C-alpha cells in the first residue's frame, strides 16, 4: 500500500531543471526511478531533480503528470522559469 506522504507531489519547473518534491524512498519513488532513470535525489535539497532540454517542457510535464496520476498521486505545479 502506498504511504499517505506519497499522495501529494510538488513539481517545480526551473527552466531546464525540474524538481520533484516527494519522498526519497517508498513504492512511488521506486516506480519513479524506473520510469525516469535520469532523475536523481538531491540530498541537500531533499527532492528529486531532472534536467530537461529547452523546448520539451510541455512533453516532460505531460509525462510526469501522467505518471503521478497513474500512481494515485496529486500534483501541484510551480513555475519558477
Instruction: Calculate mean pLDDT across residues 18-43.
Output: 92
Closest CA to 50 of 22, 59, 41, 58: 41
Q: Is the pTM of this model over 0.85?
A: no
Q: What is the rounded distance in angstroms from the CA atom of residue 52 to the CA atom of residue 30?
A: 21
pLDDT at residue 52 in the model: 76
CATH of domain 4-79: 3.40.1170.30
Q: Where are the domains of the chain?
A: 4-79
Mean pLDDT of the chain: 83
Amino acid at each position: 500500500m502506498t504511504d499517505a506522504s506519497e499522495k501529494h507531489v510538488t513539481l517545480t519547473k526551473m527552466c531546464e531543471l525540474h524538481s520533484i518534491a516527494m519522498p526519497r524512498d517508498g513504492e512511488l519513488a521506486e516506480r519513479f526511478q524506473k520510469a525516469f532513470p535520469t532523475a536523481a535525489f538531491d540530498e541537500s535539497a531533499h527532492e528529486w531533480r531532472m534536467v530537461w532540454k529547452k523546448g520539451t517542457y510541455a512533453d516532460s510535464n505531460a509525462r510526469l503528470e501522467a505518471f503521478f496520476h497513474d500512481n494515485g498521486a496529486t500534483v501541484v505545479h510551480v513555475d519558477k522559469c
